[in-house]
Amino acid sequence: MRYIKPTRVKVLMMMFYATGGVGIIMGLFVAPPSMTMMLTFLGVINVGLGAFFTFIFLTQVQKSTDKRKKKKKSD
């Protein structure tokens, strides 16, 4: 998988966790009975996506510089 900048992954994590939390709360307490299950399920999916991006953030390796592009120091 491609390297993703840590700030971008953090933004995605926050976005998915926030929308998942709001979806679960709205599904359980605010929504009418016909939409309760759907909103709660979509909130759980968003929390799962947040967990996936947390895993990506914690396990990706720092991007190394390409040594071919680096100029050699002349003494």
| Range of the structural domain that residue 10 is part of | 6-59
Tell me, yes or no, whether 54 lies in a domain.
yes
Would the pTM of this model clear 0.85, i.e. be above it? no
Q: Total domain count for the chain?
A: 1
**Which residue is it, tokens 């929308």?**
19
Q: What angle do CA 38, 50, 52 make, to 5 degrees?
A: 110
Q: pLDDT of 17-42, one tens digit each?
A: 999 999 999 999 999 999 999 999 99
Tell me, yes or no, whether 64 lies in a domain.
no
Tell me, yes or no, whether 36 lies in a domain.
yes
Tell me, yes or no, whether 32 lies in a domain.
yes
Tell me, yes or no, whether 50 lies in a domain.
yes
Tell me, yes or no, whether 75 lies in a domain.
no
Tell me, yes or no, whether 72 lies in a domain.
no
Tell me, yes or no, whether 12 lies in a domain.
yes
